[in-house]
Amino acid sequence: MPSAKRERYRLRKSCAFLVFFLLFLSCAKKNVEINLGKINPLEVLKKVKESQQSIRSVKGLASVTIKTPDNKISFNQVTIAEEPNLLHLEALAPFGRVVGTIISDGEKIYVTSPNERRIFNRVQEFDFSSLYNGPPMRITVDKLVNLLLGRLDELPEYESSQIYLSTRSDYLILTLFKNGKEKGTLWINPVNYRIESANLNLGRGISATYRFDDFKDISIGVSFPKKIELEVDNFSLSLKYDDEVEVNSNINRNSFKPEQPFARFEKAF
């Protein structure tokens, strides 16, 4: 190979390696040095709350798997949710046929299945877990919206708890105690203060485990987990949004009206 061609080949190879290396660095988890002596637990709690509240709405397609002691189902789902209790879910069969919907307009909740249509006249009456013979915990519409927004379905009682901070594997570990009993443990990313894992004691010997992963950067300091998991006893719910998920966008209020039950997503092929 002539000298000039060899030089161009080496240059292209070096540039390709550099691009790959930069992409690897951008995707890798950023490690920070954690000095507990300089960290105020109350300031950590404030930033964790702000991080949770930074996601207000979500709209996208997701793959869902629900496991119970008796069954396991998987389906694609149209997911539209906005805090505190606006919701539009469509469970899709193969080829996009809608087989069930859950719609909340903030006052009433409409649940449609192939066999029936139920109306809950107050949001407090709705319990998502009862639809799937689910976990021994109530999942009200506001808790379900929180979970779909990549949050804990219900924040622990920070103010009335004793708080201990520790570190492990580049995470801040926040442990809560109340009346001498451990109430929960949160694994917090010290870069953006997102909760990436949590274990909460629900009482009566029941605990709930949450995992948030595959984060998508929305804006400076704001990220959204495309993968969400909840496990309680023998029940588990796993949800994975596709890459085109929209976060904090303006959502048409007609999406939350039961008279217009089907959302439309246009996707280029």
Interval 209-258: pLDDT, tens: 999 999 999 888 789 999 999 999 889 999 999 999 999 999 999 999 88
**What is the model's pTM?**
0.81
- The β-bridge partners of 240 are 63, 227
> Rounded distance, CA 264 to CA 260, Å?
11
In one-letter notation, the amino acid at residue 141 is: V
Instruction: Judge whether 39 and 48 are in contact, CB under 8 Å.
Output: no
Q: What is the pLDDT of residues 129-156, one digit of tens each?
A: 888 776 778 899 999 999 999 999 877 6
> Rounded distance, CA 105 to CA 264, Å?
18
Contacts of 106 (CB under 8 A, 6+ apart): 85, 86, 123, 256
Instruction: Judge whether 216 and 224 are in contact, CB under 8 Å.
Output: yes
CA proximity to 81, closest of 67, 107, 102 = 102
Q: How many residues does the chain have?
A: 269
Given a cut of 90, whether residue 64 has pLDDT beyond it is yes
Q: What is the pLDDT of residues 25-52, one digit of tens each?
A: 444 445 555 656 567 777 888 888 899 8
> What distance, in Å, lies between the first and last C-alpha atoms of the chain?
42
In one-letter notation, the amino acid at residue 129 is: S
Joined tokens for residue 81? 């949710």
